[in-house]
Amino acid sequence: MTERLYYNDSYLSDFRARVMDASPDRTRVYLDRTAFYPASGGQPFDVGKLGGVDVIEVVDEEGRIAHVLGAALAQEEVAGVIDWRRRFDHMQQHTGQHLLSAVLLDLFDAATVSFHLGAESSTVDVSRALEAEQIRAAERRANEIVFENRPVGVSYRHSSEDLGLRKATEREGEVRIVAIQDLDRSACGGTHVRATGEIGPILIRKLDRIRGNLRIEFLCGLRAVARARADFDALSAVARTFSAPLDDAPLLVETQREKLLETERAHRKLATELAQARGREWYTGTTPGVGGIRRVERRIPTLSDDVRAEAQSFVAGAKAVFLAIGEEPPAILLAASADSGVHAGNLLKSALASAGGRGGGSAGMAQGSVPDKSALAAVVKALEST
Ligand SMILES: [Zn+2]
């Protein structure tokens, strides 16, 4: 059994201990006592140094705690020191979770079903959906309780007693209870701050519906401050592009987006009109050939809607056949007027089939694609010879 020093003093960051057991290469060691918290109950493990060697992972093996090291540990008597910044941050997020979960239950009967403390942010999953207004109310209430600086205490009770817990525990025997004064009692083996003021600001962010639950992302302490700073910087950058005050930025972005859509629609309309005019121009500028048919062949980089509009406009005239050849990707468009004697769909389909291409269409308009340039040349040749 490893004595868990963090159970009774979450603020202990350095300690001395004796090595009780170790792996043959002495990179996995077991101590008689430790302040290193192992990954457990949603809270990540501590890192730090043991006898000057990096502790890279801490694993709870029920009775014993394994310290996974970056190198072999030579000593039998060691000094341990945990990375306090990381640990204190975990204590803030973890205590913040107790507080937030209690507030969500009190205000909206939203019970916490799971908790995850991540490297960037943390989440609680609650059993019911909440409105944005309710989330804001919970965030406000949680921060008020932070300002009240209520004591957070640890006590031990037997599971047979009436424990008055927020969430029933399945633990038998001695139960470690973490309590926030007049708010919350939870069975928990994690590390917590000693008063709610030390949690610092609590900021709720993203909400996600996950399998019938609501996942609430939240940040406490310096994480909340850092995030608010990053949000400010991002919003400032947006506001600067409009030379506008910060608070006007969201409305300006929305207005600009609508304007852009409007402009795109107008642009599309003009491009189509231009293509149609070009089609008419090609038609009048083309001398009728055999059988009075006007034929035009256009080579263009890529087939587009504009080319279709141009083709449609061209074959709106009498006795007209329009062929467009797109280079990249290799593709063909064939259009024919009803009185041209050409069935564009059938003609293109047979030309494509012999070149390994795909496509088809109606009597008036057909389109197809081929695998490569030589297939394209073969299709064009077949079409030109008919
Ligand atoms: Zn806890």
pLDDT in tens, 68-113: 999 999 999 999 999 999 999 999 999 999 999 999 999 999 999 9
* Nearest-10 Cα torsion for 327, 331, 334, 335: -90
Helix axes 222-241, 249-285, angle to 10 degrees: 40
Q: How confident is the model at residue 168 (pLDDT cuts 50, 70, 90)?
A: confident
Query: What pLDDT, on a 0 to 100 scale, did the predictor assign at position 355?
Result: 86
Paired residues of 116 in beta bridges: 123
Give buried/exposed letters for 242-266 (b at 16+ CB in 10 A, else e). eeeeeeebeebeeeeeeeeeeeeee
Q: How far is the CA of 181 from the centre of ligand 1 (A)?
A: 14
For the record, the structure tokens of 360 come out as 């088809």
Tell me: pLDDT of 386 over 80: no
The pLDDT, as a whole number, for residue 194 is 97
**Distance from C-alpha of 128 to C-alpha of 212, rounded to nearest angstrom:** 7
Q: Examine the pLDDT at 162 and tell me if it is beyond 90.
A: no
Please, which pLDDT band fits residue 62 given cuts at 50, 70 and 90?
confident
pLDDT digits (tens, 9 = 90+) for 299-322: 999 999 999 999 999 999 999 999
- Is 127's pLDDT higher than 80? yes
CA of 185 to the centre of ligand 1 (A): 10
Å from CA of 175 to ligand 1 middle:
13
User: What is the CA(20)–ligand 1 centre distance, in A?
Assistant: 28
| Predicted local distance difference test score (pLDDT) of residue 138 | 98
Q: Where are the alpha helices (DSSP H) in 19-126?
A: 84-108
342-372 in b/e burial notation, b at 16+ Cβ within 10 A? bbbbebbbebbeebebebebebbbbbbbbee
Helices 373-384 and 344-355, axial angle in degrees (round to 10): 140
3-state secondary structure of 258: helix
Asked if residue 279 has pLDDT above 90, the reply is yes
- The mean pLDDT value of the chain amounts to 94
With 90 as the cut, is the pLDDT of residue 172 above it?
no
143: left (phi over 0), alpha (psi -120 to 50) or beta: alpha
Q: What percent of the chain has pLDDT over 90?
A: 88
Using the mean position of ligand 1's atoms as its centre, give its distance from the Cα of residue 314 in Å: 75
Nearest Cα neighbor of 6 from 168, 171, 219, 176 is 176
The predicted-structure confidence for 207-260, as pLDDT tens digits, reads as follows: 999 988 999 999 999 999 999 999 999 999 999 999 999 999 999 999 999 999
Residues whose beta carbons lie less than 5 angstroms from ion ligand 1 = 188, 190
Q: Is the pLDDT of residue 285 over 80?
A: yes
Classify 55 as helix, strand or coil. Answer: strand
Could you give the angle at the alpha carbon of 343 between the alpha carbons of 337 and 348, nearest 5°? 115
